[in-house]
Structure 1
């Protein structure tokens, strides 16, 4: 889906955590995160997902307000504990 469609879906839902690809068509993950953080969903933890991890990307994601940063391909063994860790932290922007 494109970022605009996802923005509309988020406004109509009440998620416990948002797993967001950074590179979305139409509206990238950083732009969509700004929308989430300025909405009633501002306290929902948001995890950045990316297949194109470059030096400095994790720092950029943290500075933007993502709660965690996970690179693809996702390790299916580690992924549940990574998401659980995010859910167990106090929600809000920034990595712990």
Structure 2
């Protein structure tokens, strides 16, 4: 399902990146990691990333700001999935209006992560 797909996981929390990398790697994905939005933008300057899992709140540059820059300067179509522990009513719409394609609250279940990543790649 995810074989040979490259996924950028952007999260300032080491454990969150490890969990996502382990799950996605078990299904054949190549996972690249960044600790903030600024690092993500640098990595996205190179082609080949199929989907981005973007934490919302990070030091240096958060997910919303990074997504805005990605949409303006790198890609209008790259799937970006918001990852956040802030599952407040109305946030989903805010992330979608901000240029993200989907939303997944943390902590997430393996099935939900795989489902949202696969469907984002298939819509690409």
TM interval, shorter chain, is 0.7 to 0.9
- Using CA pairs below 8 Å that are at least 6 residues apart, which structure has the higher relative contact order? 1
User: Which consecutive segments of 4 or more residues in structure 1 shift more than 4 A?
Assistant: none
TM-score if structure 2 supplies the norm length?
A: 0.66
Match among 94, 97, 111 for residue 60 of structure 1: 94
Q: Which has the higher helix share?
A: 2
Distance 2:114 2:87 in 1: 20
Structure 2, unaligned stretches of length 5 or more?
1-34
Q: How many residues align?
A: 90
Matches of 2:112 and 2:38, distance apart in 1: 30
Return the TM-score normalized by structure 1.
0.83
Q: CA deviation at 1:77?
A: 2.1
Q: Give the C-alpha shift of residue 14 in structure 1.
A: 2.4
Q: Distance in 2 between matches of 1:51 and 1:13?
A: 29
Deviations 1:61-94 (CA, angstroms, capped at 9, x unpaired): 11111100000001112221221111112x4xxx
- Tell me, which stretches of 5 or more residues in structure 1 are unaligned? 92-96
